[in-house]
Structure 1
Amino acid sequence: MDSMVYDVAIVGLGPAGSTLARMLNKDVKVIAFDKKNDRDDSFKKPCGGLLAPDAQKNFAMFGMTLPKDILVDPQIFSVKTIDLKTGILRHYQRPYVNMDRHRFDLWLKSLIPENVEVHDSVTCSSVVKAGNVYEITVTENKVKNIYRAKYIVGADGANSLVRRSLFPNHKIDTYTSVQQWFHDRHSRPFYACIFDEELTDCYAWGLSKNEYFIFGGAYPVRNSRERFEKMKEKLRDYGFILDNPVKTEACMVLSPSSPRQLCPGDGHCMMIGEAAGFISPSSLEGLSYAFESAYKLSRLFNERK
């Protein structure tokens, strides 16, 4: 381990990291680290789990099809849009694919070829530049190990360790995403986008998924949970049944306010997906940016002389 130096180390195997690992040429010596595994107690990214049209275009470009065990019921093709300030409610056609996000991520990981050395259930604790290589310290099986690589790719999401370690002064506007799951007791399934400028300048969402209903939103970091609960109360007047949550999830979400806030990397460190700030600041859709940034970076590696 002390003498091995990899060509590329990928930190994070969400959609961006898994896509890059899958598309790199086999002559590139790659190691990849990920928190997830296929056990019930695995880390799961808090996410509504909708595949938007832009991400579907990437699948068409890759020639890929979704396996049926990733899809969930129901498949909804309209969005109930609610403005709580004005009380206006409208329905818009929108062809999302409703899916299980964790199974989706695991499926993308399963497509990574065997020549890539994948380490699951790993926690990365530090990333430092040491001469001409990067040293990644990880904890796996309760043991700390250090791996070295000529290039490092941060694909580790909004709260990226790679970005914080190697670009500590780079700031991107952030929200706190709070999401709860409920047993679905609505009379019919639906997908909703909710706006309320009093509580957030972003938006909230509600979504039927199998036997559950998910309600979540992105709120300013300060008093985010209080804002979330106030919005739940307001939505009772619109027929939302949001009592007795089964589980509560929260995470950081980025919303870059200008291109200058993006962090694509520098030198031998590259950032892709939301770790780089590649996410829609209006819809918070990030899958299409994850696929696109990974694809373009793979071309740079594969076409190098």
Structure 2
Amino acid sequence: MYDIVIVGAGPSGASLARLLGKKYKILIIDKRQLLDMNSKSNFEKCCGGLLAPDAQQMLGRFGLGIPRNILNGPQLFTVRTMDIQNNIEQYYQRHYINVDREKFDKWLVSLIPPEVIVICEAIFKGFETVNDNIKVQYTQQGKERTIYTKILVGADGAFSTVRRKISLDLPKSKTYISIQEYYKMDNNLPYFSAIFDDDITDFYSWTIPKDDLLVLGTAVMPKNKPYERFMALKKKLILRGFEFGPCVKRNGAYLSRPEKLNQIYLGKTNIALIGEAAGWISPSSAEGLSYSFRSAYALANAIQQRPDNIIAEYYRNTNRLRLNMKWKHFKSPFMYNTFLRKIAIKSGLMSMDMINIIE
């Protein structure tokens, strides 16, 4: 019998386990191999690996500093915003920390207290309520395991198995497939590119430099021939002067995009959801790391403050997070409406001039 079982050891799950691990009997499971810093995981998270200012602030509040070996170069201070539909672009100042996402996740897991049992390369199969407790089933190395817990936490991402079982009749977020390819580069780009093209997706695409690799990614509706649209995006960028070396790897994942606040679902009774499993992700940029940290912190406080009514307290603790989501919803039309985006970019508001070297 455990006090808490957490499904998913990404940033939200690992943060919750770190915050509560010394006080509660906790087990956390993940399908990836996250315990060996030097090994290659059997599953790779499809993520740009950029820590935005809100995520940096939460790491600071946690009293954490990122080790050097987690970082990718270059560190980025510029966003190149490209509106292919309107044939305009601008540069904006933005401060990102560029990390290796797999190493970042492993580092967060390494911070979990030794009192917590961490099970890797395990596949969560399901659960059922037995009296006041929860029976959890998972497989590891081909063997089925059964454990019991007082609280179950789904931190298992956009396609959360935990959420799907308890939210059948609730509004669902818009779902995309995120696709990324990594290209070997001799001379990499010194900025993060945010690319808008309604012919590719009603969301956005991106390029991110990672040491000697350039990441090209997009988020496309699953029914809209995602990889064909990805390749069409690549061809358009080549025509605009982008160079892509040999492709060395690719990855993909489901991505949720809440369009309304009622699509955020925190759970029920003694089953809670955090991070993207709950729908905590920016509807304007798909930034999720700050929401992972903040929702984990809110749930950790709820478990300690109101163990008799966790979800109600968790809801109260996330009032400011919902206000933040409202702001992101308000901001979205200026990014994704073709006409409003044209006005916003052409205005040059908050953009910066690039300085060219005189030869």
Please, what TM-score do these two structures have when normalized by structure 1? 0.95
Q: CA RMSD in A?
A: 1.4
Structure 1 Cα separation of the partners of residues 142 and 148 of structure 2: 19
Matches within 5 A, 1:196-275: 196-222=197-223, 223-242=225-244, 244-275=246-277
Structure 1 Cα separation of the partners of residues 105 and 23 of structure 2: 25
1:151 paired residue number: 151
2:329 paired residue number: none
CA-to-aligned-CA distance 1:267-298 (integer Å, 9 cap, x gap): 11000000000000110000000000000111
1:23 aligns with 2:19: yes
Deviates more, 1:21-30 or 1:85-94: 21-30
Matches within 5 A, 1:171-186: 171-186=172-187
Q: State the percentage of identical aligned residues.
A: 40
Q: 2:199 aligns to what SS in structure 1?
A: coil
1:299 aligns with 2:295: no
Structure 2 Cα separation of the partners of residues 122 and 31 of structure 1: 12
Unaligned runs of 5+ in 2: 308-359
Asked if 1 retains the 8 angstrom alpha-carbon contact of 2:160 and 2:277, the reply is yes
Q: 1:217 aligns to what SS in structure 2?
A: strand
Deviates more, 1:125-134 or 1:149-158: 125-134
Q: 1:159 aligns to what SS in structure 2?
A: coil
AA aligned to 1:195 is: F
Cα gap change, 1:243/1:117 in structure 2, threshold over 3 Å: closer, same or farther? same
1:36 to 12, 32, 36: 32
Asked if 1 retains the 8 angstrom alpha-carbon contact of 2:187 and 2:212, the reply is no
Deviates more, 1:228-237 or 1:267-276: 228-237
2:123 paired residue number: 123
Asked if 2 retains the 8 angstrom alpha-carbon contact of 1:127 and 1:161, the reply is no
Structure 2 Cα separation of the partners of residues 187 and 168 of structure 1: 45
Deviates more, 1:17-26 or 1:96-105: 17-26
1:8 aligns with 2:4: yes
Unaligned runs of 5+ in 1: none
Cα deviation, residue 131, structure 1 = 2.6
Normalized per residue, the structure richer in helix is 2
1:106 paired residue number: 106
AA aligned to 2:249 is: K
Cα deviation, residue 129, structure 1 = 2.1
- How many residues matched? 301
Q: 2:202 aligns to what SS in structure 1?
A: coil
Please, what TM-score do these two structures have when normalized by structure 2? 0.81
Q: 1:208 aligns to what SS in structure 2?
A: strand
